[in-house]
Structure 1
C-alpha cells in the first residue's frame, strides 16, 4: 500500500482531485459508499449511476449505503495530502508577491510560523498514512488533520483564496473544499 499512497499523493498534487480520485478508486466497481452519495471522477462513473451534481471532474452520484473501504479511505487521504501541498505552494506564491511595510509578507514571523505548522502537520499526516494506512481511526485522523491545515492555509490567503480565480475559474480553496466533501462521501470523515 505504501507505493500506492505515494502515487495517489503525487496525482493529487500534480493533476488535481479528479485524477487523484480515479487512482484512489482504482479497482472499485460499484458506486456503493458508506452513505447515500458517492463521489466519482466524472470520466469513470459506474454505469446506471444517477448523477446528482458535477464539479470540476468529480460527480456525486446516488448510491446504496455499504461498508467503508479502508484502502479507499487511505488512498483518498493521500490525494488530499497532495492537494494540501498544492494549496501551500499557492499560499507561498501569494504571500511572496504581497508586501507589508515594504517587506514581503512571506517574511513576517507569524506567517512563517503558520506555514511551518502547516508543513509539520502535512508531514505528520504523510507519515501516519505510511505506517498506519490500514488503521481506519488513524486515516480518519489524517482526513481531519488535512481539513484543519487547509483552513489554516486559507486564512493566509485571506479573501483571495475564495474570490481570486485560477485557470479553472475557481478560487484556490475550491478544490480542497471539494476534496473534503469527497472524503465525507466515501468515509464519513473529514
Structure 2
C-alpha cells in the first residue's frame, strides 16, 4: 500500500476514519504495539478483538515495529487531517444555525478565534508531514497537535457533541487509533 498522505487526507475527509485507515497500510503484521487499530474487514478469524467501532477493530497483537510503522503513522496523520477539516466544517455548520443574544454564534470573536487557530494548526501539521513525514518525532508531534485541535473544535458543539455519535466520539476514536501507531502521549 503506497498511498500518499494527501490521498489519506482526502479519504478521511470524504469517507471517514475507517476508509482512511484502510489506505494507510495499517496491519497486524506491522503494528508497533500490543494493540493494533485496523480495518474491521481485515481482521483474521480467531484474532482477539478488544473493541470494534465504526469499521475499526482494536486487536491484540505482538509488537513488530519497523521503518514501515512511521510511514503508516504519517499516512494515519493524513487521515486525521481530513477528519479535522471535516470536524471544522461540521462545527461551522452547527454554529451557523445557532444564535446567542440574537446574534449568530458563528460571528462571536471567541468562536472565530478557535476556528482560526484550528485552521492554522491544521495547516502547520500538514506542512510538517510534507517536509518531515519520515521522522518519528515529527509524526508523533503532528498527532498530538491534531488531538489538541480536535478537542478544541469538538468543544464548539457543547453538549450535543457528546450524544448520538457526536463529535466527541469521533475525536476519541481517532485518538485511540493514533495511540496504537504512535504511542500514547
Tell me the TM-score range normalised by the shorter chain.
over 0.9
**1:120-139 matched pairs, under 5 angstroms:** 120-139=120-139
- Larger displacement relative to structure 2 (102-111 or 44-53): 44-53
Q: Specify which of 39, 42, 49 is matched with residue 41 of structure 1.
A: 39
SS at the partner of 1:49? coil
Number of the residue aligned with 1:178 = 173
Unaligned runs of 5+ in 1: none
Partner of 1:102: 102
The aligned counterpart of 2:5 is: 5
- How does 1:68-107 map onto structure 2 within 5 Å? 69-107=69-107
**Do 1:140 and 1:189's aligned partners in 2 also have CA atoms closer than 8 Å?**
no
The DSSP-based 3-state class of the residue aligned with 2:62 is coil
Corresponding residue number in structure 1 for 2:158: 158
Consecutive unaligned residues in structure 2, runs of 5 or more: none
Backbone CA RMSD of aligned residues: 1.9
Q: Is the 8 A contact 1:96 1:106 kept in 2?
A: yes
Partners of 2:143 and 2:45 lie apart in 1 by 29
Secondary structure in 2 aligned to 1:110? helix
Q: How many Å separate the matches in 1 of 2:51 and 2:183?
A: 18
**Following TM superposition, where does structure 1 have runs of at least 4 consecutive aligned residues deviating by more than 3 angstroms?**
none
Taking structure 1 as the reference length, what is the TM-score of the superposition?
A: 0.90
Q: State the distance in 1 between where 2:5 and 2:23 align.
A: 10
Q: What pairs with 1:54-73 in structure 2 (closer than 5 Å)?
A: 54-67=52-65, 69-73=69-73
Tell me, in whole angstroms, the C-alpha distance in 2 between the residues paired with 1:175 and 1:108.
25
Equivalent pair of 1:143/1:189 in contact (CA under 8 Å): no
Map Cα deviations across residues 39-76 of structure 1 (whole Å, 9 max, x no partner). 11111124542212111100111100121511001000
Q: Distance in 2 between matches of 1:86 and 1:131?
A: 23
For each residue in 1:3-52, what CA deviation from the matched residue of structure 2 results, as whole angstroms up to 9, or x when unmatched?
700000000001111110010126x4x34422211111111124542212
User: What TM-score results when the alignment is normalised by the length of structure 2?
Assistant: 0.92
Structure 1 SS opposite 2:8: helix
